[in-house]
Amino acid sequence: MSNLTQHSFNISKLDREKLHQHKAFLIWFTGLSGSGKSTIANALELKLNKLNISTYALDGDNIRLGICKDLTFSIKHRTENIRRVAEIANLFIDAGIVTLASFISPNAKDRELVRQTVGDDFYVEVYVSTSLEECEKRDVKGLYLKARSGEIKNMTGISAPYEVPNRPDIIINTETDTLNDSVEKILNYIRNKLYG
């Protein structure tokens, strides 16, 4: 590492933001599996696209099928998974792109690492606070059933803890908030960040 030097380029994040005509930042969706993180992120990205906002979505499953396919679900590997995602998100922000990331990210210290990596001013935390009972009812991927039968170890909410965010920017409860209401709530929050 001592032989590495940070290289500076002539085009900056500010130049890229001027090109895109909006600011760039990270919207981090956290919550239990099945809470609705990816569904909300997808609907929000569609809305942003219609507003001519340059976006990119990072999703837990998609990342684990590619750049993090060498990782397990141990605590150490979960932290490494989130560290890699934070660095990827940081690159997208530097490229002038609004980045949406949907990750269970159960550990507060890992979410704080993301915040520190991209910078507090460029981090918006959305806590999708759907209850475990509702997530189990949905069980879209069949993971809770497998976890309850012992087939899956380290399942967040069952055999592994989820640390509720203590200072999320936005809280969404998909048991009471409609998809449209959830998207509007986020849009209202980020509007000044986009153009301010």
Question: Does residue 157 fall inside a structural domain?
Answer: yes
Using the 8-state DSSP alphabet, how is residue 22 labeled? S
| CATH code assigned at 83 | 3.40.50.300
Q: What sign does the dihedral 167-38-179-155 (CA atoms) show? A: negative
Q: Name the residues annotated as catalytic.
A: 105
The whole-number pLDDT of residue 120 equals 95
pTM here is 0.93
Q: What are the residue ranges in the chain where pLDDT is below 50?
A: none
* Structural domain of 163: 24-195
The whole-number pLDDT of residue 146 equals 85
The whole-number pLDDT of residue 1 equals 63
Strands (E) across 39-190 are located at 55-59, 98-102, 123-128, 170-172
Question: Does residue 5 fall inside a structural domain?
Answer: no
